[in-house]
Structure 1
Amino acid sequence: MSKPQSTVGTQRQLLAILEGRPCPSCSDGELERGEYKDNAAAVCDECGTPRAQVWQPSG
């Protein structure tokens, strides 16, 4: 059975896919990698709205 892709790698891919896309919440912004509530996120550079955030499970 193949080994699943690492969680960190998957998170980076998701944020990379969203980076540079237009913000659906405002007409002027575009998404960039940043932080939201101490988690890695894709955040609008104009309005600051987070569109996706990723975090590590505690455990």
Structure 2
Amino acid sequence: MSKPQSTAGQRRNVLAILEGRPCPVCEDGELEREEYKDNAAAVCDDCGTPQAQVWQPSE
């Protein structure tokens, strides 16, 4: 049995949960939602390290 597919909104909830949290890579950064390599992502506003990406399904 296959698992049900998540909707784009559900996948983006991961980014909402991460937004505003401290960056685990650097001391001064905070995660914010932005684009990283054409994907929605949670990226540090100081060092630019992505912590999560949401890949868009190909059509």
What is the TM-score normalised by the length of structure 1?
0.83
Deviations 1:29-58 (A, max 9, x none): 000000110100000000000000001222
Q: CA RMSD in A?
A: 1.6
- In the alignment, what sits opposite 1:24? 24
Q: Displaced runs of 4+ in structure 1, greater than 6 A?
A: none
CA contact (8 A) 2:12 2:54 kept: no
Specify the code of the residue in structure 1 equivalent to 2:28: D
- In the alignment, what sits opposite 1:49? 49
Matched, 1:40 2:40: yes
Q: d(CA) in 2 for partners of 1:6 and 1:57?
A: 11
1:12 CA displacement: 2.1
Unaligned regions of 5+ residues in structure 1, if any? Answer: none
Specify the code of the residue in structure 2 equivalent to 1:41: A
The count of residues paired between Structure 1 and Structure 2 equals 56
What is the TM-score normalised by the length of structure 2?
0.83
